[in-house]
Chains A and B, each alone.
Chain A
Amino acid sequence: MTLDISRDHALELLRDMIRIRRLEEKSAELYSKQKIRGFLHLYIGEEAVGVGAMRALRMDDNIVATYREHGHALIRGVSAGEIMAEMYGKANGCSGGRGGSMHLFCAERRFYGGHAIVGGGFPIAAGLALADKMKGEALVTACFFGDGATDEGEFHETLNLTALWKLPVLFLCENNQYAMGTAFERHVSDRDIANNPPAYGIPSDSVNGMDVVAVERAVHNAAETVRETGAPRFLELRTYRFRAHSMYDAELYRDKEEVEEHKKEDPIATFQARAMSEGLITQDDVDAIEADAAQEIADAVEFAEQGEWEPIEDIARHTYARNLP
C-alpha cells in the first residue's frame, strides 16, 4: 500500500517527527548535564502519534495532554525555545517556569496542559467540551492519555459522562504498552482496550500508532465525526516507548531484546524509508530537515540559557488572581 500523500505532506510529517526526536534527545543530554531537573519523560518512539494527531486537529480545538507532552506542545506550535526554557525552569518558559517538563501550558494554542496525575485530565477534558457545547461552539476536545490511565476510575466515569451528556471529546489512548513499569497485560483485564468505550456507547477503533499517516487519517476522521455529531469517540494508538519511563527508571521490567524488536518499527525510520522508496523525498531532503531541526534545537537551548529566573519575591504570584492578605 502506498502512502498516498503529497511530497510536501511527507516532508512536513517527517520534519515534525524529527523535530520531536531531536528535542527529546537534547533534553536527555541536558538532563545529564543537570540543566533540566525533576522528572523528564521522553516521547522517543511515540512521535507518530503526537505528529499525526496534532496535524489532524484544528487550532481552535482543545488539547489536554499528559506529562509526556513535549512533542504535543511542539507540534501544536509552542516554540522549542519556550518548551526548553520551561524545562530549565526559566521565566521565559511556556508556563513561566512554574510547571517544568510535566506541565507545559499555552492558552493561545488551547493547550490545556501537561497533567501529571494519571487520569486527572479526563474530567478536565469533559468540562472543556461541556463549556463548548453550552456555548454552542462545534469544537473538539482532544484528550491524550496512556494505557495506564484506562485503569483509573475517572476514565470510566468520563466515558460514561461524555456519552450520557453527548460531549465532543476525542479520547486518544497512546498505548505504549507500559503503565510506568507495569506491562499492559499485567494491568489491564481486557487486552483490547478499544472494547471499553463501546460498553458506554462510544464508538472506538485501534490504529497502528507507529504509522504517522494512519494516525493522521484516523484522528482526522474521528475528530470530524466528533465535530459533526457532538458526541465522543475513542481511538487507541498502539505505540512503544523506546526510552525509560523517566530519567529515574532503570528499566528492570523489560528485556533489551523487546525494546530492540520494537525499534524495528521506529516511526521515523520506517516512514522515511517508505517516503524515499516511493520517491516522495530524497536524502537531501532528510539532510535539510536534520539541519533545520539541529538549528531549531540549538536556538531553543540558547533561548533557555538566556532566559531569566523569576525573582523569588514573585513566588506568591499565580496562587490566586490577587495575592491574599
Chain B
Amino acid sequence: MTTYREAVRTAIQTLLREDPRVFLMGEDVGRYGGAYAVSKGFLEEFGEERIRDTPLCESTFVGAGIGAAIGGMRPIVEVMTVNFSLLALDQVVNNASLMRHMSGGQFEVPLLVRMATGGGKQIAAQHSHSLENWYAHIPGIKVLAPATVQDAHDMVLAGIEDPDPVFIFEHQMLYGMEGPLDTESTPPSPWKAAVRREGKDVSLIAYGGSLHKALGAADELEKEGIVAEVVDLRSLRPLDHETIVQSVSRTHRAVVIDEAWKTGSLASEISAILAEEAFYELDAPIERVCTLEVPIPYAKHLEDAAIPQVDRIVAAAKRSVGGA
C-alpha cells in the first residue's frame, strides 16, 4: 500500500529521473520538502537547478512556468494551495490558456501545475477553498482531480505528457490516504470518468475529496437496501459526459457531490448536462450536495456543517429514491 503523497512523489521523481526537461518549482518545494511533503529529498537528489524554491510570487512563478514551457522545458509548478493560486489567475486565464490560440497554433504551453485544494482541516476561510470550477471554466487548459492513489500518480505522468497546460487539484485531506499503486500497467485515460462502485438505484457523482464521502454514503445506503452507483469524474475539463449519462441512464437518479459552493459550481454543470442529455432518463429531481453558501468557518462543528458530509449525501440519495 502507498500513500497518495507517495504516489504523487513517485511520479514526479520518475519524470525528473527520465526527462531532463522536467523540473519542479514552487514555494518551499526544495529545502522544506514541499508544504505537503511531496518533494522531500528531491533537492538532494536533483539539485537546485531542477528543484527551485521560488520567492513568494505566484503570478510570476506560474508565468515563468508558462515561459519555460514555451521555451522547450517541461515545468512542474507547485502552487502551494488553490487559495494562493488566485494571485496567478491572470497568468492562467490570459496566458497559459490563450497562447496556442493567440499565436495561431505557433506556441504551445506544456505546463503542469499542481495545487492542494479543499477544506476539512480547520485551516479557516482563507485556506479551505474549492475553486476547481473556476479553472474548469476556461477553454485552453485541462483540469484533473485525482481521488485515488493510482490517479494521483498516473495524472502527474499524463499531465507532463500532455502538450497543453494541465492543472491538477490534489485534495488536502487525501495526502495521507493509503491505496494500491501499480506503476507497471498502462494507466487508463485520465480524461474519462470512472465508475468506482456499481449500483442500480441512484448515481452519486463526485470527484476529488468528495469521492470518498460518496463511497461512504453508498456503504450507509446499502444497509438500507439502496444500491448506489458512485462515479468519479476524475477530469473536470474536459468533462466526460458519456460516463455520467450512461450511469444515470441505468439508475435514473442523480446526486452530485461537490465541495464548491453550489452557485455556479461543477455540480451545476453536471446537473445541466443531465438535464440536457438524460432528461427523459430521470425519475427524480437531480440533487446537489455542495458547500453551504458561507465562508468556511474555523470551528470544527461549523466547518463540518458547511462542507458536504456522508449524512447529507445519504439524505439526498434517500430523497431522490423516495421521490420516485
- B41 interface residue (CB < 8 Å to A): no
Interface size band for A: 35 or more
A123/B70 contact (C-beta < 8 A), A130-B64, A154-B63 known: no
- The reply to whether B73 and A321 contact each other, CB–CB distance below 8 Å, is no
Which residue of the partner chain A has the closest CB to B101? A318
- A residues in contact with B54, CB < 8 Å: 161
Which residue of the partner chain A has the closest CB to B50? A134
- The reply to whether A157 and B104 contact each other, CB–CB distance below 8 Å, is no
- The reply to whether B95 and A120 contact each other, CB–CB distance below 8 Å, is yes
Give 1 or 0 for each of B57-86: 1 = CB within 8 Å of chain A CB.
101111111111111110100000000000
- B14 interface residue (CB < 8 Å to A): no
A146-162 residues at the B interface, CB under 8 angstroms: 153-154, 157-158, 160-161
- A residues in contact with B75, CB < 8 Å: 127
Give 1 or 0 for each of B163-181: 1 = CB within 8 Å of chain A CB.
1100000000000000000
- The reply to whether B95 and A158 contact each other, CB–CB distance below 8 Å, is no
Which residue from B62, B71, B142 sits with its C-beta under 8 Å from A130?
B71
The answer for the CA separation of A68 and B61 in the assembled complex, in Å, is 25
- The reply to whether B107 and A157 contact each other, CB–CB distance below 8 Å, is no
Which residue of the partner chain A has the closest CB to B63? A123
Give 1 or 0 for each of B239-259: 1 = CB within 8 Å of chain A CB.
000000000000000000000
A319/B139 contact (C-beta < 8 A), A113-B103, A154-B63 known: yes
B30-67 residues at the A interface, CB under 8 angstroms: 49-50, 52, 54-55, 57, 59-67
- The reply to whether B104 and A120 contact each other, CB–CB distance below 8 Å, is no
- The reply to whether A113 and B102 contact each other, CB–CB distance below 8 Å, is yes
- A residues in contact with B105, CB < 8 Å: 96, 317-318
A127/B67 contact (C-beta < 8 A), A120-B91, A161-B54 known: yes
A97-143 residues at the B interface, CB under 8 angstroms: 97-99, 103, 105-107, 112-115, 117, 120, 122-132, 134-135
- The reply to whether A325 and B104 contact each other, CB–CB distance below 8 Å, is no
- The reply to whether A157 and B55 contact each other, CB–CB distance below 8 Å, is yes
- B185 interface residue (CB < 8 Å to A): no
The answer for the CA separation of A153 and B60 in the assembled complex, in Å, is 9
Given contacts A123-B59, A127-B64, A318-B104, list 18 more A-B pairs with CB under 8 A.
Answer: A98-B103, A105-B106, A112-B70, A115-B95, A123-B61, A123-B63, A123-B91, A127-B66, A130-B68, A134-B68, A135-B72, A135-B73, A153-B59, A154-B57, A157-B55, A161-B55, A164-B55, A320-B164
The 5 closest A-B pairs by CB, nearest first: A127-B67, A123-B63, A96-B104, A131-B71, A105-B103
Can you give 11 A-B contacts (C-beta < 8 A)?
A: A94-B104, A95-B104, A106-B106, A124-B64, A124-B67, A127-B70, A134-B49, A153-B57, A319-B139, A320-B100, A321-B163
